[in-house]
Structure 1
Amino acid sequence: MAKIVHVVESFGAGTLSMVSAIANRQAQVGQAVTVIHSLREETPANWRALFDARIEFIQLPMVRAIKPGADWHAGRMLTQELRRIRPDVVHLHSSKAGALGRLTSVFHRGPRWFFSPHGLSFLQRAEGRLKNTVFLLIEKLLARIPVTFIACSPSEAEQIRANLTNRVEVVCNGVDLDAIPAAPGNENIVRIGTVGRVALARNPELFASIAEALRGAGVEFVWIGGGDESGETALKNAGVQLTGWVDRAEALKQLATLDIYIQTSRWEGLPVAVIEAMAAGLPVVATNVVGNRDLVKDGENGWLANDRDDFLARLVPLIESRGERQRLGAQAKAFARAHYSLDTMMENLNRVYGLTEK
Structure 2
Amino acid sequence: MSRIVHVVESFGAGTLSMVSAMANQQAADGHAVTVIHSVREETPANWRALFASAVACIHLPMQRAIHPLNDFRAGRALYRWLRDLQPEVVHLHSSKAGAIGRLVSLMWAEPGGPRWFFSPHGLSFLQRAEGRLKNSIFLGIEKILAGVPVTFLACSPSEAEEIRTHLSPNVRVVNNAIDLALISPARPGGARLRIGTVGRVTLARNPELFAEIAAQCRDLPVDFVWVGGGDASGEAGLRTAGVQVLGWCERAVALRELAQLDIYLQTSRWEGLPVAVIEAMAAGLPVLATNVVGNRDLVQNGVNGYLVNTADEFSQTLRRLVADAEARAQLGDAAREFAQAHYSLRRMMNDLYAAYGIPPQGQETP
Q: TM-score, normalised by structure 1?
A: 0.99
Please list the CA deviations of residues 143-167 of structure 1 after superposition, one character each: whole Å capped at 9, or x if unmatched: 0000000000000000000000000
Match of residue 142 from structure 2: 139
Match of residue 85 from structure 1: 85
Which of 87, 105, 129 pairs up with 2:132?
Answer: 129
Q: What secondary structure is seen at the aligned counterpart in 2 of 1:285?
A: strand
Tell me how far 1:188 sits from its aligned partner: 2.4
Distance of 1:196 and 1:217 partners within structure 2: 24
Which of 154, 158, 162 pairs up with 2:157?
Answer: 154
Q: How does 1:328-339 map to 2 (within 5 A)?
A: 328-339=331-342
2:74 is matched by which residue type in structure 1?
Answer: A
Which of 311, 327, 351 pairs up with 1:308?
Answer: 311
Matching of residue 252 in structure 1 with residue 255 in structure 2: yes
Matching of residue 321 in structure 1 with residue 321 in structure 2: no
Please list the CA deviations of residues 275-294 of structure 1 after superposition, one character each: whole Å capped at 9, or x if unmatched: 00000000000000000000
Please list the CA deviations of residues 306-355 of structure 1 after superposition, one character each: whole Å capped at 9, or x if unmatched: 21111112111111111111010000000000000001000000000000
Q: How does 1:1-358 map to 2 (within 5 A)?
A: 1-109=1-109, 110-216=113-219, 218-356=221-359
Distance of 1:217 and 1:156 partners within structure 2: 36
Distance of 2:202 and 2:163 partners within structure 1: 25
CA contact (8 A) 1:215 1:221 kept: no
Tell me how far 1:185 sits from its aligned partner: 2.9
Please list the CA deviations of residues 172-228 of structure 1 after superposition, one character each: whole Å capped at 9, or x if unmatched: 011001110000232421100000000000000100010111134520000000001
Distance of 1:307 and 1:232 partners within structure 2: 20
2:42 is matched by which residue type in structure 1?
Answer: E
Q: What secondary structure is seen at the aligned counterpart in 1 of 2:330?
A: helix
Q: What secondary structure is seen at the aligned counterpart in 2 of 1:223?
A: strand
1:189 is matched by which residue type in structure 2?
Answer: R
1:33 is matched by which residue type in structure 2?
Answer: V
**Percent identity, aligned pairs only?**
65
Paired residues, number: 358
2:177 is matched by which residue type in structure 1?
Answer: G
Q: What secondary structure is seen at the aligned counterpart in 2 of 1:201?
A: coil
Q: What secondary structure is seen at the aligned counterpart in 2 of 1:304?
A: strand
Q: What secondary structure is seen at the aligned counterpart in 2 of 1:25?
A: helix
Tell me how far 1:269 sits from its aligned partner: 0.1
2:34 is matched by which residue type in structure 1?
Answer: T
Distance of 1:310 and 1:111 partners within structure 2: 48
CA contact (8 A) 1:6 1:90 kept: yes
Q: What secondary structure is seen at the aligned counterpart in 2 of 1:61?
A: coil
Task: Could you tell me which runs of 5 or more consecutive residues in structure 1 were left unpaired when the two chains were aligned.
Answer: none
Q: What secondary structure is seen at the aligned counterpart in 2 of 1:133?
A: helix
Please list the CA deviations of residues 101-120 of structure 1 after superposition, one character each: whole Å capped at 9, or x if unmatched: 00000002510000000000
Distance of 1:314 and 1:151 partners within structure 2: 31
Distance of 1:230 and 1:98 partners within structure 2: 30
Q: What secondary structure is seen at the aligned counterpart in 2 of 1:202?
A: coil
